[in-house]
Every structure is written in C-alpha cells, then in structure tokens.
Amino acid sequence: MRAMTVPVVLALSGRGATVGRLIATSLGVPLWARAEGDAGGDHTFADASAFVRRVRAEGRPVVAVCASGMLHDLMGGPMPGMVSGVVAVSHDGTVVTQLQGMSEGLAERVGLALSGAGAGRHPDGDPRHWLEDPPEGWTLGTPALAAPVRARLMAGGLARIDGDEAIRADWLADLPAASPPDEGLRDVVGIEATTMPPVDGVLTYHPQRFALGICCAGDCPPAELEAQVRQMLEDSETAPGAVKAILTDAGSCRAAAVVALADRLRLPLRVCAEPYAGDPADRRAVAVASPSPVAGRAAISQTAALFGAGSRARLGLPTVSADLFACALAVAPDAIAGLRGRPA
C-alpha cells in the first residue's frame, strides 16, 4: 500500500477491541483507541471526531469499529471529492458498511479478514454477555435488570426488542430472537430501546440523542435549576440516560447549581470550546455561547445545546427561561458520537 493509502483502524470502546485488533493485524497497521477508553490500542487519541476528521483530511481511509450512524456523525458527513474509504464495522464484526469512497476494496478486505478468522464475536463468544456493556452512545437505563435478563436468556429465553429506538439498536440483533409463535410457549424477555423513561421491570437502553444547554447565574439556587430541568425532561418524555452531556458557557460552568445538577443527573459537564478548528458552525457556536452583554441566557443555552448535539441537531421543547437561568434541549437524529467542547 502507498503511504497515503494506509488505512487507520480505530476502536471506540472495549467492546470493539477484539474486532479492531483483528482488522488492524490483518491490514498490518496499528490499532487506535480512545486515550480514556479500554480498547487497548497501540496509539490513542483524545477526541474521536477531531481525530477522524483530521485523518480524512489527510486523504487516508478510515475503518472504525462502531455503529455506522455514529461514524457518520464523527466524520461530519461526506466530504465532496474525497475518494478514500470510510468503513464502519459492528462490534461483533458481522456488519461491514462502506460509507464513502472505494479505496482499493477496503470493505472487502475487512470482510475477508473477519470471515477468515471466524471472528468478530464477543470475547466470550456469546452476545448475551453484552447486556451490561452497551456500546458508546447508549446507556443502560435499568442496570439492576441486566443480570436477571442475561440469566433468563442463558436458560433458553428469547429476546423481543421493542421501543421507539429499536431500529437503531442493531447491536442487540445477535440475541436469540423471539417470533410471534413463541409467545406463551417460550420465556420471551422484553427489551426496550427508547429515549423515554424506563418502564418498571423492563430492561431498557437509551440512545444518547440529546444535549442539555444551560446558561446560569452564579447565585442561582441549585434546587430551582434541578426542578426546572427535570420538568423539562418529563415534559419531553426524555430519560436522563438519553442525554449525552450538559453544555454551558465558560461562566456558567462554575455555578454551584450547574455543578450540582451534573452530579445529580450523573452527566458530563462540558464547556463550549473550539476543539474542531476547521468547522465554521462550531466556531459560530463558541462565539454565541460566550458571556456577552448582547447574547441573552436563552440564546446561549440554545446554542450550547445545539453545539453539544452536533451539526444535524434541532431544538426540542421551547427553552425554559427564568430570572437566573435558561436551559434548552437539543436532539440529534442518531446517538451522539463523542463529547464536544472541553471538560468544565
């Protein structure tokens, strides 16, 4: 392979480490992984989106072990005139999707590497062991139910995947699936994939499609901000687990109410910054979501939310605005890939 056509192989989580290593070894290249992750890469990167965009700008093919929708978000959409291949591989190695370019049959070479090794499965060889470890961009809304559900499936139970996000939960496709004739004859376990709050007793996974933007005064009462945010999530029927992060401006991130909210919701707190220097939309977002006597809190919270959810996001419910704070919710069409902005 010519120097500029050597592909970059990356795994975004530990679940993709086995498949990523197999592909990298077959192609004779190192495996890249997140610096803070558990994929055990030969080299690491801090920000997945910035890394993928830089590699593509260099004209190099990309093979990423992650959902195809997530890779689409990471690379910021197609690049006109770009011929180098972009390939997404599912965590179990059973699905290879070419998103762009030809690149000397890269997808075919990846597929041959996986089929030749008979690999691409969970290290334990059984997808039922994935239940407590959803892929990046998803959260487990009912962690106490994962072990009991796994036990039922291991005992011969069958899975029925329901919910408004079931079509996106392709990583659950390898579970032993129930069909209508099985109802009443076999132990059928219902599993929900949804952005809505979990139903009691149902194993539930949430795609992280939402970002919460907040602009807040330093003396805002924490209880008041939390109550309004929880009401916003309730009104939009959005589970906290479907929210990727809280995004703020540089001043709001130090407010006690915002810090307490992030802790209570167990969400990352990020500041609108400019990690993607080549993206004009991001630069505009950073400019708006900065303390200014002109931009009001509502505008700042909206722009922060859109910044956190990515370029294809839209605002959800009307922005909640009070004397000491404003909060907005943005929704992306797919699970949000990676955390945007800088840590608070």
Each residue's pLDDT tens digit, 167-187: 888 878 778 787 776 666 778
The proportion of the chain whose per-residue pLDDT surpasses 90, expressed as a percent, equals: 27
Residue 123 pLDDT exceeds 50: no
Domain boundaries, the chain: 3-117, 127-206, 208-343
pTM above 0.75, yes or no: no
Alpha-carbon gap, residue 342 to 344, rounded angstroms: 6
Let me know: does 213 contact 327? Beta carbons within 8 Å: yes
Q: Which two tokens stand for residue 64?
A: 């990423």
Mean pLDDT of 91-103: 70
For residue 83, name the pLDDT band (cuts at 50, 70, 90). low
Alpha-carbon gap, residue 45 to 15, rounded angstroms: 17
Across the chain, what does the average pLDDT equal? 80
Which of helix, strand or coil describes residue 139? strand
Residue 72 pLDDT exceeds 60: yes
Neighbours of 118 (CB within 10 A): 8
Alpha-carbon gap, residue 268 to 20, rounded angstroms: 27
Query: How many residues are given for the chain?
Result: 344
- Ranges of beta strands (E only) in the chain are 8-11, 31-34, 43-45, 62-65, 86-89, 96-100, 138-140, 158-162, 188-193, 203-207, 210-216, 243-248, 269-271, 314-315, 320-321, 325-331, 342-343
CATH architecture, domain 3-117 = 3-Layer(aba) Sandwich (3.40)
Helix axes 48-57, 68-75, angle to 10 degrees: 70
Phi and psi based region of residue 317 (left: phi greater than 0; alpha: psi -120 to 50; beta: remaining):
beta
Alpha-carbon gap, residue 89 to 67, rounded angstroms: 7
Q: In this structure, which topology does domain 208-343 adopt according to CATH?
A: Nucleotidyltransferase; domain 5 (3.30.420)
User: Of 218, 262, 269, nearest to 240 (Cα)?
Assistant: 262
pLDDT digits (tens, 9 = 90+) for 21-49: 888 888 889 999 887 666 578 898 888 88
- Give the CA distances from residue 132 to residues 11, 24, 111, in Å, rounded to whole numbers and listed in that order: 19, 26, 27
The proportion of the chain whose per-residue pLDDT surpasses 70, expressed as a percent, equals: 80
Mean pLDDT of 212-226: 93
User: Of 191, 208, 207, nearest to 199 (Cα)?
Assistant: 191
For residue 79, name the pLDDT band (cuts at 50, 70, 90). low
Q: Which two tokens stand for residue 60?
A: 């190099």
Which of helix, strand or coil describes residue 55? helix
Q: Kind of pairing, strands 31-34 and 8-11? A: parallel
Name the helix (H) or strand (E) containing 304.
helix 297-309
